[in-house]
């Protein structure tokens, strides 16, 4: 194999290993969810048994508004992980994203590591994934269509990751012309385009530009969960005190800011970055997201406990959300978005 091409696979392998073993969380920054409390509603009339989370995402029915975030593909280990994550998605009827398909553009060796997702999850929404750096370099949409066909993808996710590229020795930091390429994709692909960060967050200003370009979904992927600067700093064996480890906009802030754009644009707001339990997820919904997403926590649970326990874990998140809905008088997720949170400092 061409050494440059095998480098992509090697990098993916190192990312997976670091996300399973080392502490790659933010060090001095959090999601900000801890600054909020739910308003307890003493006269609730909510019937927990009637709470229904089913909905639609990229044109398909889903049972829970929970997305298994784009993570992996392009290595032997990735095929095994994707096979299992897809089983979880199919069992729960939830959407799943594949990791960057860049490697599959370079050669055919690990194409099955992506295809396995559609094989094991025939009925759920599956999201293709490619980086902004690659999008910027394309002269035609054919390669993107090829990536989507590979997984019979229901949407294309473009990840914007300037911080990660900045810290990667082999990183590509020229994104000039990116928005024009996004417009071309939006206008020519048969499926919607979603843009996500990878843990540094998307601001209102950035989201508005993307929505003007015609993007149909924004996944804020904010700070407070996995630090991709941290992952690259560990890969490079650089100084762990590098200020960039904690760079980024906290998840709760991004959700609040990007949600404001719902007034003028129709889009799906996805909340991710450090969402680990039902309480975090419920706060994300209360701040305005349509769907929550999680990456590293799901990967670690899968690695430790397997498919069934991972499915149980995701269901437990919705069990907790149901409890919170009952205690806040919210019969559905729309009710939960109606002024149910209070900033903690206002209690005292
Ligand atoms: C092992 C691993 C690999 C990832 N690879 C990708 C990727 O290829 N493309 C992408 O868009 N995001 C990727 N991400 C980023 C996640 O989708 C997510 O945006 C980020 O990790 C923050 O979410 P978290 O705090 O729940 O982990 C990856 C995350 C993990 C843990």
Q: Which atom of ligand 1 is nearest to the CA of 228?
A: 21
CB 31 within 8 A of CB 246: no
The per-residue pLDDT for 1 is: 41
Distance 97 CA to ligand 1 centre (A): 10
Distance 314 CA to ligand 1 centre (A): 17
Phi first, then psi, for residue 171 (nearest 5°) are -65, 155
Length of the chain as a residue count: 348
Model's pTM, two decimal places? 0.97
Distance 26 CA to ligand 1 centre (A): 14
Token pair of 19 as six digits: 């996300």
DSSP 33-68: GGGEEE---TT----GGG----EEETTEEESSSEEE
The per-residue pLDDT for 5 is: 54
The per-residue pLDDT for 58 is: 98
Instruction: Decide whether any atom of ligand 1 lies within 6 Å of the 299 Cβ.
Output: yes
Integer angstrom CA distances of residue 192 from 53, 135, 252, 270, 335 = 23, 15, 25, 14, 27
Distance 69 CA to ligand 1 centre (A): 6
Q: Which atom of ligand 1 is nearest to the CA of 298?
A: 26
> For residue 286, how far is the Cα from the chain centroid?
18
Distance 202 CA to ligand 1 centre (A): 15
Phi first, then psi, for residue 137 (nearest 5°) are -90, -10
Distance 295 CA to ligand 1 centre (A): 5
Print pLDDT tens along the chain (348 aa): 444 557 788 888 899 999 998 889 999 999 999 999 999 999 999 999 999 999 999 999 999 999 999 999 999 999 999 999 999 999 999 999 999 999 998 888 899 999 999 999 999 999 999 999 999 999 999 999 999 999 999 999 999 999 999 999 889 999 999 999 999 999 999 999 999 999 999 999 999 999 999 999 999 999 999 999 999 999 999 999 999 999 999 999 999 999 999 999 999 999 999 999 999 999 999 999 999 999 999 999 999 999 999 999 999 999 999 999 999 999 999 999 999 999 999 988
Instruction: Decide whether any atom of ligand 1 lies within 6 Å of the 156 Cβ.
Output: no
- Hey, which of 97, 110, 198 would you mutate to test ligand 1's pocket, going by the most ligand atoms within 8 Å of its Cβ? 198
The residue whose C-alpha atom lies closest to atom 29 belonging to ligand 1 is 71
CA distance 121 to 151: 10
CA distance 226 to 173: 21
CA distance 13 to 6: 11
CB 29 within 8 A of CB 248: yes
CA distance 91 to 124: 10
Burial state string for 66-92 with b = 16 or more CB within 10 A and e = fewer than 16:
bbbbbbbbbbebbbebbbbbbbbbbbb
CA distance 36 to 319: 20
Q: Which atom of ligand 1 is nearest to the CA of 274?
A: 25
Instruction: Decide whether any atom of ligand 1 lies within 6 Å of the 12 Cβ.
Output: no
The per-residue pLDDT for 178 is: 97
The residue whose C-alpha atom lies closest to atom 30 belonging to ligand 1 is 71
What ranges do the domains of the chain cover?
3-347
Three-state DSSP at 343 gives strand
The per-residue pLDDT for 9 is: 83
Cα angle 81, 83, 86; round to 5: 105
CB 18 within 8 A of CB 77: no
DSSP tag of 244: G
User: CA dihedral defined by 171, 203, 28, 324, rounded to 10 degrees?
Assistant: -130
Token pair of 159 as six digits: 């990840």
Pick one of 3.20.20.70, 3.20.20.210, 3.30.230.10, 3.40.50.2300 as the CATH number of 3-347. 3.20.20.70
- Hey, which of 75, 296, 297, 303 would you mutate to test ligand 1's pocket, going by the most ligand atoms within 8 Å of its Cβ? 296
Distance 45 CA to ligand 1 centre (A): 39
Distance 321 CA to ligand 1 centre (A): 23
Q: Which atom of ligand 1 is nearest to the CA of 225?
A: 25
Instruction: Decide whether any atom of ligand 1 lies within 6 Å of the 221 Cβ.
Output: yes
Q: Which atom of ligand 1 is nearest to the CA of 197?
A: 19
First to last CA, the chain: 63
């Amino acid at each position: 194999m061409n050494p440059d091409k095998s480098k992509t696979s090697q990098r993916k392998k190192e990312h997976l290993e670091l996300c399973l073993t080392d502490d790659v969380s933010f060090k001095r920054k959090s999601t900000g969810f801890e600054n909020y409390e739910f308003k307890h509603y003493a006269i609730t009339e909510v019937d927990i048994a009637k709470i229904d989370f089913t909905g639609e995402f990229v044109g398909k029915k889903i049972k829970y508004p929970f997305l298994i975030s784009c993570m992996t593909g392009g290595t032997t280990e990735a095929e095994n992980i994707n096979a299992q994550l897809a089983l979880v998605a199919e069992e729960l009827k939830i959407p799943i994203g594949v990791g960057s398909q860049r490697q599959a553009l370079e050669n055919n060796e690990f194409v099955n590591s992506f295809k396995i997702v559609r094989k094991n999850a025939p009925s759920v929404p599956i999201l293709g994934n490619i980086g902004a750096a690659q999008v910027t370099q394309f002269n035609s949409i054919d390669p993107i269509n090829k990536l989507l066909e590979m997984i019979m993808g229901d949407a294309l996710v473009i990840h914007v990751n300037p911080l990660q590229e900045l810290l990667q020795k082999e990183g590509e930091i020229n994104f000039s012309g990116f928005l024009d390429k996004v417009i071309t994709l939006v206008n020519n692909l048969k499926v919607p385009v979603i843009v996500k960060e990878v843990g540094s967050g998307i601001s209102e200003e950035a989201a508005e530009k993307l929505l003007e370009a015609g993007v149909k979904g924004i996944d804020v992927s904010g700070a407070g969960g996995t630090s991709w600067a941290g992952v690259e700093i560990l890969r490079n064996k650089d100084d762990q005190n590098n200020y960039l480890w904690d760079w980024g906009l906290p998840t709760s802030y991004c959700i609040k800011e990007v949600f404001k754009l719902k007034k003028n644009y129709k889009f799906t707001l996805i909340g991710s970055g450090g969402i680990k339990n039902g309480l975090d997820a419920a706060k994300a919904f209360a701040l305005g997201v349509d769907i929550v997403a999680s990456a590293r926590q799901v990967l670690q649970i899968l690695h430790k406990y397997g498919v069934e326990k991972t499915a149980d874990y995701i269901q437990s998140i919705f069990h907790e959300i149901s409890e919170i809905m009952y205690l806040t008088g919210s019969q559905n997720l729309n009710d939960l978005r109606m002024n149910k949170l209070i900033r903690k400092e206002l209690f005292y």
